Amino acid sequence: MAWGKRKDLLGIEDLSREEIETILDTAESFKDVSRRQIKKVPALRGVTVVNLFLEPSTRTRTSFELAGKRLSADVINISASGSSIIKGESLKDTACNIEAMNTDILVFRHSKAGAAHFLSKVLKCSVVNAGDGAHEHPTQALLDLYSIREKTKRIEGLTVAIIGDIAHSRVARSNILALRKMGAHVRVAGPATMIPAGVEKLGVDVTYKIEEAVEGADVVMMLRIQQERQGKNLFPSIREYSRFFGLNRARLKGAKKDILIMHPGPINRGVEIAPDVADGPYSIILDQVTNGVAVRMAILFLYSGAAL
Amino acid sequence: MPKKEKPNTREVRIIDREKMNALINQLAERILEKNQDLSEVTLVGIRSRGTHLARRIAEKIFEKCGNRVPVGILDITLYRDDLRSRIDQPMLVRTEIPGPIEDRNIILVDDVLFTGRTIRAAMDGIMDMGRARMIQLAVLVDRGFRELPIRANYTGEYVPIKSDQTIRVRFAEDGEEDGVILREVP
């Protein structure tokens, strides 16, 4: 398909299946670049990318930074603690000031849902959503699709179980949307307090037992227990959560022999996933991280045209 | 994918199927003459028509001496100097070059040599992948009007044309009849 000009990547919601496939195919070329001795191509020479991360991150920020640098773009990182936001500058003013320095692409993370949409309306430069509250994290879902496709060669018809705090997870939401668009079956599992009401409307099956979710699944995605996002207690204790919803070897006994175990990171070892499973033979957790750079290179490349 | 032509474009077939086959044959012969050690040679086609031509040349070389010369595909999109002034982001095709570039004798292959900018981009692409011992260039048609100091080592035919004309090489691989078409855009 012809890609044409497009300005912002705000969520999986706005992408068609065809567009998702184009992004994944483009990422394949960039994966090769990262494997070379000289991990750099001149494609985005002279393009300025600003990573504005108002929420903590190592993986996503580093991944976007490397992606930009491997495309020869100039990349700057701004975090909340090092910015004038702590002096009381509004988000809009901060963003407009960054844009006034002729920024081409703003990669943006914020703790509030809709923050990236808001900036996309205020700014003329491209906005790439790197996570907005519990809403969406599109590049994570895209790198997850890429990682699955790399191993299984297809996504259509697969059964994917997403386990954990579905209600507070932007990763879950973006992945449900993306996997459904690509024709996969999705199951979600977790404590009833962490399954949002009406989640079936997204076309997913719900179960409250991890064993049921794992049985027959081609892929299991474990979600991190987000202690920072929990206003109230959604389960009695970490130990109890782990006992009922943690993924360990015993729970994989009935699983498919070629199951893929994924986790967006950072891992709470021994909470949602046992160390020997996270580091075990089915785990593609570090492949996800490797592929993240290639997918973000594809995103920066495809969305850089908008600032012409 | 064949592009839609404007209805009032005049087309003349200046090189037919037989002649094109003979030119490719000639290119293969000259490459064989100049490159004694074929085991060092990799043909690298600049996608997409350069790839067709590279495969054809490799086939001719095989017919002549029984040696299989490796053929690679190079996508120069990321190295273009007009990348950011194009309206559409061009679709990337995966670059696939068999084996390491290091110390190889790389023969770049393209259908038409014009401004030389494509070749400049291709050379940058190759050099980023490793230090080739040598880079050469083979083209089917040289249409003149260079904008960079670049010249082919092996040229099928020199066809100097005017600035309001364009040249297009067609390959059976794309579902068209082999041949070189001269087009006038009125």
Confidence of residue B8 (pLDDT cuts 50, 70, 90): low
Cβ separation B92–A29 shorter than 8 A: yes
ipTM: 0.73
Q: What tokens appear for A166 in the block?
A: 């579905």
Long-range residue pairs from A42-45, CB within 8 A, at least 24 positions apart, any chain: A42/A72, A42/B78, A42/B79, A42/B124, A43/A71, A43/A72, A43/A301, A43/B77, A43/B78, A43/B79, A43/B83, A44/A68, A44/A71, A44/A72, A44/A73, A44/A300, A44/A301, A44/A304, A45/A72, A45/A73
Determine the residue among B82, B89, B120, B126 to mutate to test chain A binding: the one whose Cβ has the most chain A Cβ atoms within 10 Å.
B89
Round the average pLDDT of chain B to a whole number and report it: 90
Give the pTM: 0.87
Residues of B with Cβ-Cβ distance to A47 under 8 angstroms = 84
With CA atoms as reference, the chain A residue closest to B100 would be A36
Confidence of residue B95 (pLDDT cuts 50, 70, 90): confident
Burial A80-102 (b: 16+ CB within 10 A, else e): beeeebeeeeebeebbeebbeee
Cβ separation A4–B129 shorter than 8 A: no
Around A254, how many Cα atoms within 13 Å sit in the side-chain half-sphere? 9
Letter for the amino acid at B39? S
CA distances from A163 to A171, A176, A262, B166 (A): 11, 12, 10, 59
Determine the residue among B79, B82, B84, B126 to mutate to test chain A binding: the one whose Cβ has the most chain A Cβ atoms within 10 Å.
B84
Mind telling me how many Å the CA of A51 is from chain B's nearest CA?
Answer: 21
With CA atoms as reference, the chain A residue closest to B102 would be A37
Confidence of residue B47 (pLDDT cuts 50, 70, 90): confident
- So what's the pLDDT on residue A137? 98
Which residues of A lie inside 8 Å of B (Cβ-Cβ)? 1-5, 22, 25-26, 28-30, 32-33, 36-38, 40-43, 46-47, 71, 301-302, 304-305, 308
3-class secondary-structure state, position B146: coil
Residue A109 CA to residue B60 CA, distance in Å, equals 56
Residues of B with Cβ-Cβ distance to A2 under 8 angstroms = 88, 91
Which residues of B lie inside 8 Å of A (Cβ-Cβ)? 75, 77-79, 83-89, 91-95, 124-125, 128-130
Confidence of residue B82 (pLDDT cuts 50, 70, 90): confident
Asked if pLDDT for residue B61 goes beyond 50, the answer is yes
Cβ separation B83–A43 shorter than 8 A: yes
- So what's the pLDDT on residue B1? 46
Asked if pLDDT for residue B2 goes beyond 80, the answer is no
Q: What tokens appear for A79 in the block?
A: 């975090």
The pLDDT > 90 percentage for chain B reads 73
- So what's the pLDDT on residue B6? 56
Residue B15 CA to residue A261 CA, distance in Å, equals 58
Q: Report cis status (omega within 30 of 0) of the bond before A29.
A: no
Asked if pLDDT for residue B90 goes beyond 80, the answer is no
Residues of B with Cβ-Cβ distance to A32 under 8 angstroms = 94-95
Mind telling me how many Å the CA of B125 is from chain A's nearest CA?
Answer: 8
Determine the residue among A1, A6, A21, A41 to mutate to test chain B binding: the one whose Cβ has the most chain B Cβ atoms within 10 Å.
A41
Q: What are B117-156's pLDDT values in tens digits?
A: 999 999 999 999 989 999 999 999 999 999 999 999 999 9
Residue B162 CA to residue B114 CA, distance in Å, equals 12
Confidence of residue B5 (pLDDT cuts 50, 70, 90): low
Asked if pLDDT for residue B85 goes beyond 70, the answer is no
Asked if pLDDT for residue B4 goes beyond 60, the answer is no
Mind telling me how many Å the CA of A306 is from chain B's nearest CA?
Answer: 9
* Residues of chain A with confidence (pLDDT) below 50: 306-308
